[in-house]
């Protein structure tokens, strides 16, 4: 995620957007080349009686804009839902720890055990979604034995939920919590389960492949043919207008593709590192621990990840 300080509108025109850029630039230079070809061929092309006029492209352009608008709103909805899931994760983490601390104020060691499990869950979810190795973070937070079990599992996050369930069951059997309070805490653990499966769903179920393909392909072909339709009217202005229209369509198509998978590390994706860090700071502070980590800040490119 890019976190820029507020900038003057004029300045912003000259700022470039992250990783999408190289692909867009390549495609736009292709479009520029096409425009030059269109200008060069124009006379020879008119002589042949071959005519491409703007009218059908105008119809098609509006249709594509409508479909691209839908494609964008679908991708953005995935991004928003993913963000909401991680927001819920923070809510539930804070609520669980607060519950345990108000029920068992005289047992701070239990609150610390739970906090460790909760932090491990967040880091584990991040690593699972980004397919990065989770061993280091787990080892830092949990006992040797639990780390092993989790790492060997096909579904490590769910394994941590099982450990939280066992921890809670133990509290109930040892009489620390009554059945009602067990139920109350357990409902929050169910919320963690919902966050986990929600993130897995977004991560494993892309937008139907055919849909992305149709829009992508249509945008591409449209931008390639556009210079030939513009040249009879615009002559030497063709490259300017063609590149401008292509920029609008191609960059929105590229951004939709980037937002679609919000758990990556591209500039417009969610800053999972910073979110895990925020959860850790919150939980440790609630337990009055001394080893509260530093807050992660954006780097020089205003980039958090």
Q: Is 268 in the site for a second copy (CB under 8 A)?
A: yes
Shortest distance in whole angstroms from residue 28 CB to a second copy:
13
Question: Which residues on neighbouring strands pair with residue 140, listed in sequence order?
Answer: none
DSSP-derived secondary structure letter, 225: H
Range in contact with a second copy (rule: CB under 8 A) among 35-43, 66-74, 125-133, 134-142: 66-74
DSSP-derived secondary structure letter, 237: G
Range in contact with a second copy (rule: CB under 8 A) among 4-12, 31-39, 119-127, 130-138: 4-12
Residue 132 CB: number of other CB atoms within 10 A? 12
Unique residue bearing structure tokens 């105008």: 58
Return the structure tokens found at 260.
């679609």
Residue 48 CA to residue 42 CA, distance in Å, equals 10
Among 114, 161, 272, 276, binds a second copy (CB under 8 A): 161
Return the structure tokens found at 116.
């460790």
Q: Which is nearer to a second copy, 76 or 130 (CB)?
A: 76
Among 33, 40, 66, 143, binds a second copy (CB under 8 A): 66
- CA torsion 112-116-122-124 (nearest 10°) is -170
Return the structure tokens found at 40.
């060069």
Q: According to CB under 8 A, which residues from 235 to 264 bind a second copy?
A: 235-237, 241, 244-245, 247-249, 251-252, 255, 258-259
Among 34, 39, 79, 150, binds a second copy (CB under 8 A): 79
In sequence order, what DSSP letters do the residues of 101-135 get, joined into one string? HHH-TT-HHHHHHHHHHHHHHHHHHHHHHHT---H
Among 32, 37, 151, 281, binds a second copy (CB under 8 A): 281
Q: Is 41 in the site for a second copy (CB under 8 A)?
A: no
Shortest distance in whole angstroms from residue 8 CB to a second copy:
9
Among 32, 37, 41, 65, binds a second copy (CB under 8 A): 65
Q: Which is nearer to a second copy, 145 or 295 (CB)?
A: 295
Q: Is 140 in the site for a second copy (CB under 8 A)?
A: no
Question: Which residues on neighbouring strands pair with residue 2, listed in sequence order?
Answer: 303
């Amino acid at each position: 995620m890019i976190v820029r300080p507020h900038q003057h509108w004029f300045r912003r025109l000259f700022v470039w957007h992250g990783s999408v850029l190289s692909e867009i630039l390549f495609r736009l230079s292709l479009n520029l080349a096409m425009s030059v070809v269109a200008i060069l061929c124009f006379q020879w092309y008119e002589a042949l009686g071959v005519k491409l006029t703007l009218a059908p492209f105008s119809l098609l352009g509006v249709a594509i804009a409508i479909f691209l608008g839908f494609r964008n709103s679908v991708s953005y909805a995935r991004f928003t839902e993913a963000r909401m899931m991680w927001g819920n994760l923070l809510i539930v983490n804070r609520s669980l720890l607060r519950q345990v601390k108000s029920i068992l104020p005289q047992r701070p060691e239990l609150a610390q055990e739970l906090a460790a499990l909760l932090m491990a869950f967040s880091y584990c979810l991040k690593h699972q979604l980004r397919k990065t190795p989770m061993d280091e973070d787990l080892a830092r937070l949990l006992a040797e034995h639990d780390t092993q079990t989790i790492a060997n599992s096909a579904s490590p996050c769910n394994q941590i939920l099982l450990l939280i369930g066992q921890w809670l069951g133990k509290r109930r059997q040892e009489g620390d919590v009554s059945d009602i309070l067990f139920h109350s805490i357990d409902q929050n653990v169910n919320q963690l389960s919902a966050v986990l499966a929600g993130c897995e769903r977004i991560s494993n179920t892309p937008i139907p492949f055919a849909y992305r393909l149709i829009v992508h392909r249509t945008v591409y072909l449209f931008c390639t043919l556009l210079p030939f339709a513009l040249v009879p009217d615009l002559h030497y202005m063709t490259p300017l207008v063609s590149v401008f229209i292509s920029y609008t369509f191609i960059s929105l198509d590229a951004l939709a593709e980037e937002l679609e998978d919000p758990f990556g590390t591209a500039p417009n994706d969610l800053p999972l590192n910073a979110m895990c860090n925020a959860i850790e700071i919150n939980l440790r502070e609630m337990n009055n621990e001394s080893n509260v980590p530093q807050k992660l800040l954006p780097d020089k490119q205003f980039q958090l990840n």
